[in-house]
Amino acid sequence: MISDRLTGKVALITGAASGVGRATAHRFATEGCAAVYLFDRNAEGLETVVAELEGMTRAVAFVGDVGIDEDCKRAVDEVVAAEGHLDIFLGNAPAHSAAAFLTMSTDEWDRVLRINLRSSFVLGQRVAQAMVDQKTGGSIMFTASVSALGASKEYAHYGASKAGIVNLVQTMAIELVEYGIRVNAVSPGPLDTPQSRDVLGSDEAMEAARKHWPLVPMNRLGKAEEIAAAYAFLASEDAGYITGQNIIVDGGLRAHSYSIPEELAAK
């Protein structure tokens, strides 16, 4: 049973047009948020989510690019100007690509770091300033990744950006605690989202992954709704004593060390 833990709260979510951002917008609405502001580059996707939330909460679309500092600042300022307060922020907009370390361009490195890590600083700082001014505290959250905790081939930029988010969360948490602001991250494992489809490269590969994902002990992809549930918890007073944490939601992936291949195991 979903509760009403977020009644009256105002939330801002980036990367809200699909995947985890969309699922979290739905979860926040069902838990009682008075308003959910949706920040994404995808105007059409935002329109769809706004329509889905009609009658559940006041949903407002903000079309912008988290890779542009002024868009980030303007989004936060518009929420505060319209609502008078901002209680919950989720930085979730992702950038990723595959590129070998030896041949990765500095432009691609900079793009991923700008969208994933720089935007987390710019948005996090602006949101924190607003929460300090309103003197009511709040919850700031970011989507990290299990890639922050270990390496993957061809993802040096992505892993470094997500590791940076985890450390940024820890630093923000200890500096902002005196203002009643809690800061946390969630690190998802492999998920059934449009981003995963882009990484795998085809609908066929995605369908196969849904049926079998051997590296994950639960043997499946995670659902966006399962990550949204973690954010709803962290945003609520149920998590009132939790700050500076990186919550791993990965079906047991990080708990697993290795398995002996069946063809090598003693018969």
Per annotation, catalytic residue among 158, 179, 231, 258: 158
- Domain 10-188+224-248, CATH homologous superfamily name and number: NAD(P)-binding Rossmann-like Domain (3.40.50.720)
Residue with the bigger pLDDT between 259 and 10: it is 10
Task: Say whether 241 is catalytic.
Answer: no
For the record, the structure tokens of 28 come out as 């926040």
Cα–Cα distances (Å) from 39 to 68, 77, 109, 151, in that order, read 12, 13, 23, 29
Q: Is the pLDDT of residue 211 over 80?
A: no
CA–CA separation, 56 vs 36, rounded Å? 10
Percentage of the chain lying above the pLDDT 70 cut: 90
Helix ranges (H only) for 31-140 are 43-52, 69-83, 106-113, 119-134
Q: What is the 3-state secondary structure (H, E, C) of 182-200?
A: EEEEEEECCECCHHHHHHH
Lowest mean per-residue pLDDT among 39-43, 69-73, 168-172, 251-255: 251-255
Query: 24 pLDDT band (50/70/90 cuts)?
Result: very high
Average pLDDT over residues 24-50: 98
- Mean of the per-residue pLDDT values of the chain: 92
Q: Look at the chain and count its residues.
A: 267
HSE-CB for 11 with a 13 A CA cutoff: 37
Structural domain spans, the chain: 10-188+224-248
Residues 146-174 have pLDDT tens digits of: 999 999 899 999 999 999 999 999 999 99
HSE-CB for 19 with a 13 A CA cutoff: 22
Phi, psi of 151 (to 5 degrees): -95, 150
Look up the pTM and report it. 0.92
Percentage of the chain lying above the pLDDT 90 cut: 78
